[in-house]
Amino acid sequence: MPTIPSIQWSTKHFSALNVEELYAILRLRSEVFVVEQNCVFLDMDNNDQKAYHVIGWIGDELVASTRLFNTGQFYEGYQSIGRVVGSPAHRGLGIGKDLMKYSIAECARLFGMGPIKIGAQLYLNKFYSELGFERSGDMYYEDDIEHIPMIRKAH
């Protein structure tokens, strides 16, 4: 497995993001969700403003991002991690797993220990299971992509 490049992780509330950071987040999400996955959907769903955003940089290139929600902000009774995205140019290096581990730790730091619920793309079931998430419901379609609800219990 190739060596993971040094990634500079940070977490900022939407209100603290500068214009360049916000643009990089939206560009990466568009590159993966709209272009690569050929999914026409409204990415800017008015939830970014209430979220914390995890951003991972290699130099001046954004390579990974998530958004974090406190209990009840996205799912009733759960914290949530969403818009999990990694740069196609840096896949296969373990950055996605590091992104999720960092995001889980940030949920605990920001919101306290609590269960985390995600809407995972079905094909990533094994990936999220390895991070402690368990399937919690039936498959559903979101923007024509198969998803499953998954929950990671508080530890």
Q: Is residue 77 part of a domain?
A: yes
Write down the pLDDT at residue 155: 67
- Asked if residue 3 has pLDDT above 80, the reply is no
Q: Is residue 67 part of a domain?
A: yes
Q: Is residue 88 part of a domain?
A: yes
Q: Is residue 12 part of a domain?
A: yes
% of the chain beyond a pLDDT of 70: 96
In tens, the pLDDT along 38-63 reads 888 888 999 999 999 999 999 999 99
Write down the pLDDT at residue 143: 86
* Token code pair at residue 129: 């299971």
Check if the beta carbon of residue 54 is closer than 8 Å to that of residue 103: yes
Q: Tell me the residue range of the domain where 37 lies.
A: 8-152
pLDDT band at 144 (very low <50, low <70, confident <90, very high): confident
Higher pLDDT, 40 or 124: 124
- Asked if residue 4 has pLDDT above 70, the reply is no
* Token code pair at residue 62: 């954004």
Number of compact structural domains in the chain: 1
Q: Is residue 2 part of a domain?
A: no
Write down the pLDDT at residue 117: 98
Burial bucket for residue 74 (CB in 10 Å: 0-12, 13-18, 19+): buried
Check if the beta carbon of residue 128 is closer than 8 Å to that of residue 118: yes
Q: Is residue 128 part of a domain?
A: yes
Per DSSP, the residues of 49-107 read: GGSEEEEEEETTEEEEEEEEE-TTTSBTTBEEEEEEEE-GGGTTSSHHHHHHHHHHHHH
CATH number of the domain where residue 121 is located: 3.40.630.30
Q: Is residue 21 part of a domain?
A: yes
pTM, to two decimals: 0.94
* Token code pair at residue 106: 């940030």
Average pLDDT of 21-37? 95
Higher pLDDT, 37 or 8: 8
Q: Is residue 1 part of a domain?
A: no
- Asked if residue 26 has pLDDT above 70, the reply is yes
